[in-house]
């Protein structure tokens, strides 16, 4: 098989194979299918799914048909040749059968004849023709051309208001076989979606349901364009792309999307319900998930069948994972047509745009988009880089894969276990009693509590963690191993997928990645899990396919790369990094010789990349003369966002801090500046000052269990006052609705038509009171006596409401804009009382501040930076005795000091943000979307819209799922907030592309880019470094902010604003060429 054929096989999803199996099922060719079903087990679930869909469609389409005939009884009676008032009773079921399956006409006709005596007396041919006429009219009434595409008349839309009817009509379009095929393929992809990482929401009820609804809608649109408009081949492909971008002017007969967004979401949720009913899916929640989403994973029994018996070709193909290509990707020649080989016409999984667009609004923004050739050249050149698998690292990861698999089987450990183990070791409680550890996890709310208690499963995980530590012989080794296992476990089964993809690619001499970009021009590989921009673990598996020997320059960069991966001296001058390698030669060699015994590599900042380098280093030491290597050697920018800002504002001193301009030590030697270290030192000073201030005022605070609190009063919402209107709705509730464990509170919150516009937080406070009171009542009265529960609940709510009214008269409650407010005494933790622990432990260093400082240049909020800092704080265990809210409070206060420290070190980021936001504010006042052009000519348009909430009823109305759907109103705040980071990102993207094109001209073919990090062969790093400097000079010599102001003035008619230059005359861009640590 040639490589093109192999690539096509790699791209082939399970769609076609599963379609073939389902067709065999439905045509009852049992000989092959039964043996297949026995072998795989998958089709037994597929059969049940088809039955679910068919049953649903039959039930609700029968209601639709019945309702349609009943509305125009006389007309249908004339068509049928009879005079009956309720003709729908006789024919609805049979007609529905015929509509769903044309082959069932004879069977349906027989049922009609049996239903009424008058039919049995009619001529069969006449009756047959009359029924056919009825079917034709029904199709015309309900749809276009025999299929429902969403085009119901206004009257019919008002007529079929029930979502079940609308969903049934929509499902009719595709038929159960095709729908179940698509649904199954998406369900199997959950193996990847649930595995990516803890923060991933791709498997949430909202996101996953919307994805399935959109996929089915797209299939309907494809069929409409093909069957109704008669489009074929390239014409069909172009029309569908236009449909995706809402370019309806070019598609005759389309003035609106075929399905409304709401119908699309309803269909997606209904399909998920079917999958849960047949036990292919299970719902779960994530601990400490602020979204309160429900998530899906494959049902345990279903997963066992997939792993043990399933047709591997179907299961692997259905992962929806984009795998590396074994042939060079197609060149991008415009918005479409590059990357993967062309897809099968109806599949479209690989028909991608070179600009990523996920939401409908993003896709609409691509309409008429032109891509400059220089941009396409850069994308195409990066795609030409060939890789191979690092076989030594694959062996390592396969070994860990086996160990983790054994641990899972033997001890039933999972990712939540490793997360708990990490917290246990980080908080220093590994030697504490079980009771104390349980109390810690309850108090900190580190894991989800159920009725203020730990779940049995989490208690078991805690017990296992304590026991594992107690049994370990080498405690330090155990801690290091646990950290490595945690990093692997974070991927969940995604780690399995990384290993499987690597094993699959191992047999090829070389493979490639498809690259695309976002709306700002930043480039990303399309492949998931294993790719050059992945984390430490996945990156360690990748080598350049072409190996090269080391020259003298290459040797220096090879050694620097090793020191950089370890991380201890990666901000020192190059000579010190090379010396570090020489000093740690023995440890490095020991790591390469026996990584299982040697602990040294596990202490690295990027342990897996460092281990990969150790193996290469050992090979070099053994045979330096014949040594060749394909390891990517990387150099990173020094806070790249700030680098661009200093150049924009011509900030000479700031530029030195981030190595844009060279800095020298006392001996006039080049030195590497460390902006993060400068900020960390300033933060230390501010925290010391705050700590000393606290000590002088200590007596003013309330002390409780060693913690200090300040007391204040604040005005808060008084929910009790607003309970009166709840009583009115409660009176209307039928107790039958509360059977099957539904609570009155749940029903009330769904049924309420609130008189005021309450915030979500206010509604939650009302719900909290209702829930608390209902729980009390259910303990006091017989729970089965729902009338008594309802009566007592009503009495309790009214009593609370009356008391609140008395408080209003006594001025304990006041009304503000019709909402009740009351004063509450509040004890707030004094954050500065805890600063001593941070300072004593030496936690305030460059590593601590790096994340939030780096994002400051991109306009991150105080809250966003505080959340990033909190992760650092929790990993060190310094606040482990505090609950979640107080941890966040301390993190927030430190973040505010950090922002002060940053301003003390340099004002340029703040000046830049204020200046550009002023433009954004004025532009959005004109109700216009903000856009600009990059120096390479790529138009960057911010897509920021407000959203509406759409509630989709599921499980026949007992539970709603809320979706945010973008409307056409501009999000002014989003535009203003986004411009500062987006403009800088568009510049770093331009710098990257200019560098890539320059390297291409210099004959350098192999490279890896991660926005502000570049890698190539060790011998070529010097050329890369020079090219980066030259491209940066070329980019910034244009006085970009002046060009931007002129653009805004011309396009938006905005008055020019003075640019806050710092040292315009004294800033010499050419000096950048002397800065060896610009990227290092």
- Beta strand pairing status for 628-629 and 931-933? unpaired
Q: Are residues 101 and 113 in the same domain?
A: yes
Q: What is the pLDDT of residue 36?
A: 44
Q: What is the pLDDT of residue 295?
A: 80
Q: What is the pLDDT of residue 198?
A: 47
Nearest to 660 by CA among 639, 681, 633: 639
- Beta strand pairing status for 813-816 and 931-933? unpaired
- 517 and 356 in contact (C-beta within 8 Å)? yes
For residue 127, pLDDT beyond 90 = no
Contacting residues for 35 by C-beta, under 8 A, at least 6 apart? none
CATH number at residue 943: 3.30.70
pLDDT in tens, 592-643: 999 999 999 999 999 999 999 999 999 999 999 999 999 999 999 988 999 9
Distance (Å, rounded) from C-alpha 32 to C-alpha 829? 70
Q: Are residues 132 and 67 in the same domain?
A: yes
Calculate the CA dihedral of residues 903, 908, 910, 916 and round it to 10 degrees.
180
Tell me the range of 98-112, 819-833, 1031-1045 where mean pLDDT is highest.
1031-1045
837, two tokens = 């622990």
pLDDT above 70: percentage of residues in the chain: 87
In a domain, 1028, yes or no: yes
Report which of residues 687 and 754 the model is more confident about.
Answer: 687
* Total residue length of the chain: 1080
Q: What is the pLDDT of residue 318?
A: 57
Report which of residues 204 and 859 the model is more confident about.
Answer: 204
- Give the predicted TM-score (pTM) of the model: 0.83
Distance (Å, rounded) from C-alpha 807 to C-alpha 869? 42
Residue 879's alpha-carbon distances to 688, 862, 872, 892, in angstroms, are 18, 20, 11, 13
What are φ and ψ of residue 717, in 5° steps?
Answer: -65, 135
In a domain, 6, yes or no: no
Nearest to 712 by CA among 698, 704, 701: 701
pLDDT in tens, 325-360: 999 999 999 999 899 998 766 667 788 999 998 888
427, two tokens = 């908080």
Nearest to 47 by CA among 67, 26, 29: 26
In a domain, 167, yes or no: no
For residue 249, pLDDT beyond 70 = no
The average pLDDT across 512-521 equals 96
Q: Are residues 684 and 718 in the same domain?
A: no
The SS3 of residue 605 is coil
In a domain, 217, yes or no: no
pLDDT in tens, 92-111: 888 888 888 777 888 888 88
For residue 35, pLDDT beyond 50 = no
Q: What is the pLDDT of residue 200?
A: 57
E-strand ranges in 894-1019 read: 931-933, 939-941, 945-954, 959-970, 1008-1009, 1013-1016
Distance (Å, rounded) from C-alpha 34 to C-alpha 23? 13
Q: How many domains does the chain have?
A: 7
Q: Are residues 799 and 724 in the same domain?
A: yes
How many Cα atoms are found within 13 Å in the side-chain-facing hemisphere of 113? 15
Residue 311 — left, alpha, or beta (φ > 0 → left; ψ -120 to 50 → alpha)?
Answer: beta
Sign of CA dihedral 76, 79, 85, 89: negative
For residue 794, pLDDT beyond 80 = yes
The SS3 of residue 638 is coil
Q: What is the pLDDT of residue 176?
A: 81
Q: What is the pLDDT of residue 1062?
A: 92
Q: Which of 547, 576, 591 is the last residue of a domain?
A: 547
pLDDT in tens, 652-670: 999 999 999 999 988 888 9
Q: What is the mean pLDDT of the chain?
A: 84
For residue 704, pLDDT beyond 60 = yes
Q: Are residues 508 and 469 in the same domain?
A: no
In three-state form (DSSP H/G/I as H, E/B as E, the rest C), the secondary structure along 234-263 is: HHHHHHHHHHHCCCHHHCCCCCCCCCCHHH
pLDDT in tens, 357-387: 888 888 888 888 999 999 999 999 999 999 9
CB neighbourhood size of 206 (10 A): 20
Q: Which of 629, 654, 687 is the last residue of a domain?
A: 629
Q: Are residues 842 and 796 in the same domain?
A: no
Q: Are residues 996 and 1068 in the same domain?
A: yes
Q: Which residues pair with 512 in a beta bridge?
A: 325
Q: Which of 443, 475, 507 is the last residue of a domain?
A: 475
Q: Are residues 105 and 115 in the same domain?
A: yes
For residue 320, pLDDT beyond 70 = no
For residue 1006, pLDDT beyond 80 = yes
The SS3 of residue 61 is helix
Nearest to 654 by CA among 679, 682, 636: 679
Q: Are residues 382 and 502 in the same domain?
A: yes
For residue 17, pLDDT beyond 70 = no
Q: Are residues 772 and 795 in the same domain?
A: yes
pLDDT in tens, 954-999: 654 445 677 777 778 888 888 888 999 999 999 999 999 999 999 9
- 795 and 781 in contact (C-beta within 8 Å)? no
Contacting residues for 1079 by C-beta, under 8 A, at least 6 apart? 635, 636, 637, 638, 1014, 1024, 1025, 1028
Question: Confidence band (pLDDT; 50, 70, 90) for 197?
Answer: very low
pLDDT in tens, 795-805: 888 888 888 88
Report which of residues 672 and 955 the model is more confident about.
Answer: 672
Report which of residues 438 and 838 the model is more confident about.
Answer: 838
For residue 129, pLDDT beyond 80 = yes
Q: What is the pLDDT of residue 784?
A: 65
Report which of residues 784 and 396 the model is more confident about.
Answer: 396
Q: What is the pLDDT of residue 790?
A: 81
In a domain, 134, yes or no: yes
Q: Helix 846-856 crosses helix 640-648 at what angle (to 10 degrees)?
A: 50
In a domain, 249, yes or no: no
Nearest to 958 by CA among 805, 654, 738, 753: 738
The average pLDDT across 999-1007 equals 95
Least trusted range by pLDDT, from 29-33, 682-686, 711-715? 29-33
Q: What is the pLDDT of residue 30?
A: 45
pLDDT in tens, 858-885: 667 888 888 888 878 877 778 878 888 8
In a domain, 668, yes or no: no
- 981 and 859 in contact (C-beta within 8 Å)? yes
In a domain, 161, yes or no: no
CB neighbourhood size of 582 (10 A): 9
pLDDT in tens, 261-301: 888 888 899 999 999 998 988 887 765 555 566 788 888 88
- Which pairs count as long-range contacts for 943-948, CB under 8 Å and 24+ apart, including other chains? 943/359, 943/361, 943/362, 943/365, 943/519, 944/970, 944/971, 944/974, 944/975, 944/978, 945/361, 945/969, 945/970, 945/971, 945/974, 946/970, 946/971
Q: Are residues 542 and 552 in the same domain?
A: no
Distance (Å, rounded) from C-alpha 464 to C-alpha 553? 51
Contacting residues for 321 by C-beta, under 8 A, at least 6 apart? 189, 192, 497, 501, 527, 528, 529
Could you give the angle at the alpha carbon of 346 between the alpha carbons of 345 and 348, nearest 5°? 80
pLDDT in tens, 719-778: 888 888 888 788 777 777 676 556 788 777 777 777 788 887 888 888 888 888 888 887
Question: Confidence band (pLDDT; 50, 70, 90) for 144?
Answer: very low
For residue 1037, pLDDT beyond 60 = yes
- 225 and 212 in contact (C-beta within 8 Å)? no
Residue with tokens 């290459």: 554
Domain holding 575, by residue range, is 548-629
Q: Are residues 561 and 434 in the same domain?
A: no
Distance (Å, rounded) from C-alpha 837 to C-alpha 833? 9
The SS3 of residue 659 is coil
- 528 and 192 in contact (C-beta within 8 Å)? yes
């Amino acid at each position: 098989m040639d490589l093109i054929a192999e690539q096509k096989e790699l791209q082939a999803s399970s769609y076609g194979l599963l379609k073939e199996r389902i067709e065999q099922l439905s045509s009852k060719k049992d000989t092959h299918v039964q043996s297949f079903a026995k072998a795989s087990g998958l089709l037994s679930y597929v059969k049940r799914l088809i039955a679910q869909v068919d049953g649903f469609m039959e039930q609700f389409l029968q209601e639709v048909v019945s309702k349609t005939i009943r509305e125009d009884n006389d007309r249908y009676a004339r068509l049928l040749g009879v005079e009956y008032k309720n003709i729908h009773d006789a024919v609805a079921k049979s007609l529905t059968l015929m509509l769903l399956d044309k082959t069932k006409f004879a069977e349906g006709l027989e049922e009609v004849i049996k239903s009424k005596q008058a039919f049995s007396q009619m001529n069969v041919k006449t009756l047959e023709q009359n029924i056919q006429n009825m079917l034709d009219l029904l199709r015309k009434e309900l749809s276009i051309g025999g299929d429902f595409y969403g085009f119901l008349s206004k009257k019919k839309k008002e007529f079929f208001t029930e979502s079940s009817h609308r969903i049934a009509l929509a499902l009719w379009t595709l038929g159960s076989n095709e729908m179940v095929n698509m649904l199954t393929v998406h369900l199997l992809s959950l193996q990847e979606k649930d595995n990516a990482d803890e923060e991933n929401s791709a498997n949430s009820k909202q996101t996953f349901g919307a994805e399935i609804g959109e996929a089915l809608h797209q299939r309907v649109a494809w069929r409409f364009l093909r069957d109704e408009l008669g489009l074929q081949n390239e014409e069909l492909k172009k029309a569908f792309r236009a449909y995706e971008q809402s370019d309806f002017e070019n598609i005759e007969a389309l003035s609106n999307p075929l399905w409304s967004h709401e119908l699309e979401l309803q269909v997606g949720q209904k399909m998920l319900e079917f999958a849960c009913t047949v036990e292919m899916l299970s719902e779960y929640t994530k601990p400490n998930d602020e979204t309160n989403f429900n998530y899906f994973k494959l049902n345990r029994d279903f997963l066992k069948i997939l792993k043990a018996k399933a047709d591997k070709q179907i299961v692997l193909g259905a992962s929806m994972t984009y795998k590396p290509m074994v042939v060079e990707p197609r060149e991008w020649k415009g918005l479409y047509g590059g990357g993967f080989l062309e897809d099968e016409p109806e599949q479209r999984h690989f028909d991608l745009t070179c600009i990523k667009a996920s939401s409908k609004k993003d896709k609409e923004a691509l309409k008429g988009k032109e891509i400059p050739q220089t941009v396409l050249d850069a994308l195409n050149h990066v795609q030409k880089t060939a890789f191979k698998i690092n076989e030594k690292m694959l062996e390592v990861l396969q070994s860990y894969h086996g160990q983790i698999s054994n641990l899972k089987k033997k001890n039933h450990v999972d990712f939540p276990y490793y997360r708990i183990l990490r917290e246990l070791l980080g908080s220093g409680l590994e030697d504490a009693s079980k009771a104390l550890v349980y109390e810690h996890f309850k108090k900190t709310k580190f894991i989800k509590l159920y009725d203020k208690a730990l779940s049995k499963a989490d208690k078991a995980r805690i017990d296992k963690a304590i026991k594992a530590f107690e049994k370990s012989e080498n405690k330090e080794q155990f801690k290091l191993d646990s950290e490595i296992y945690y990093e692997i476990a974070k991927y969940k089964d995604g780690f399995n997928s990384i290993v499987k993809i690597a094993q699959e690619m191992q047999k090829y001499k070389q493979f490639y990645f498809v690259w695309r970009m976002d709306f700002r021009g930043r480039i990303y590989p399309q492949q998931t899990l294993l790719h050059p921009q992945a984390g430490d673990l996945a990156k360690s598996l990748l080598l350049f396919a072409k190996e090269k020997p080391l020259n003298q320059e290459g040797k220096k960069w090879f050694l620097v790369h090793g020191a950089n991966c370890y991380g201890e001296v990666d901000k020192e001058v190059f000579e010190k990094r090379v010396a570090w390698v020489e000093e740690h030669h023995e440890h490095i060699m020991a790591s390469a010789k026996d990584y299982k015994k040697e602990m040294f590599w596990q202490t690295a900042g990027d342990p897996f990349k460092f281990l990969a380098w150790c193996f290469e280093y050992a090979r070099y030491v053994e045979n330096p003369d014949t040594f060749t290597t394909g390891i990517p050697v990387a150099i990173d920018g020094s806070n790249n966002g700030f680098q661009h800002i200093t150049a924009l504002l011509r900030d000479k001193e700031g530029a030195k801090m981030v190595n844009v301009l060279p800095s020298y030590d006392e001996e006039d030697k080049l030195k590497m500046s460390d902006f993060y270290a400068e900020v960390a030192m300033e933060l230390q000073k501010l925290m010391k000052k705050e700590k000393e201030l606290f000590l002088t005022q200590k007596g003013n605070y309330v002390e409780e269990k060693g913690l200090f609190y300040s007391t204040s009063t604040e005005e808060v919402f008084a929910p009790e006052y607003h309970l009166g209107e709840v009583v009115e709705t409660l009176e209307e509730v039928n107790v039958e609705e509360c059977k099957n464990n539904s609570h009155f509170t749940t029903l009330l919150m769904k049924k309420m038509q609130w008189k005021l516009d309450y915030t979500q937080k206010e509604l939650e406070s009302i719900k909290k009171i209702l829930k608390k009171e209902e729980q009390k009542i259910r303990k006091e009265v017989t729970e089965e006596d729902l009338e008594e529960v309802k009566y007592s609940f009503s009495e309790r709510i009214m009593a609370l409401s009356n008391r609140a009214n008395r408080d209003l008269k006594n001025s304990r409650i006041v009304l503000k804009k019709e909402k009740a407010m009351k004063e509450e005494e509040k004890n707030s933790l004094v954050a500065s009382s805890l600063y001593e622990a941070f300072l004593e432990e030496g936690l305030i260093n460059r590593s601590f501040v790096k994340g939030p400082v780096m994002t400051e240049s991109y306009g991150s909020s105080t809250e966003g930076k505080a959340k990033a800092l909190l992760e650092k704080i929790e990993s060190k265990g310094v606040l482990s005795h505090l609950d979640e809210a107080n941890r966040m409070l301390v993190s927030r206060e430190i973040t505010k000091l950090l922002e002060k420290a940053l301003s003390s070190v340099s004002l340029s980021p703040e000046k830049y943000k204020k200046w550009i936001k002023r433009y954004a504010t004025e532009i959005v006042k004109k109700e216009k979307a903000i856009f600009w052009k990059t120096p390479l000519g790529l138009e960057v348009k911010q897509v920021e819209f407000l959203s509406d909430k759409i509630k989709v009823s599921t499980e026949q109305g007992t539970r709603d799922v809320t979706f945010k759907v973008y409307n056409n109103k501009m999000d002014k705040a989003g535009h203003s907030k986004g411009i500062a980071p987006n403009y800088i990102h568009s510049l770093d993207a331009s710098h990257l592309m200019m560098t890539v094109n320059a390297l291409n001209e210099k004959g350098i073919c192999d490279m890896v880019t991660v926005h502000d990090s570049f890698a190539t062969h060790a011998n070529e790093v010097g050329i890369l470094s020079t090219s980066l400097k030259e491209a940066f000079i070329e980019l910034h010599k244009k006085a970009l902010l002046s060009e931007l102001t002129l653009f805004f003035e011309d396009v938006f008619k905005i008055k020019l604003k003075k640019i806050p230059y710092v040292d315009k005359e004294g800033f010499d861009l050419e000096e950048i060429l002397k800065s060896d640590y610009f990227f290092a």
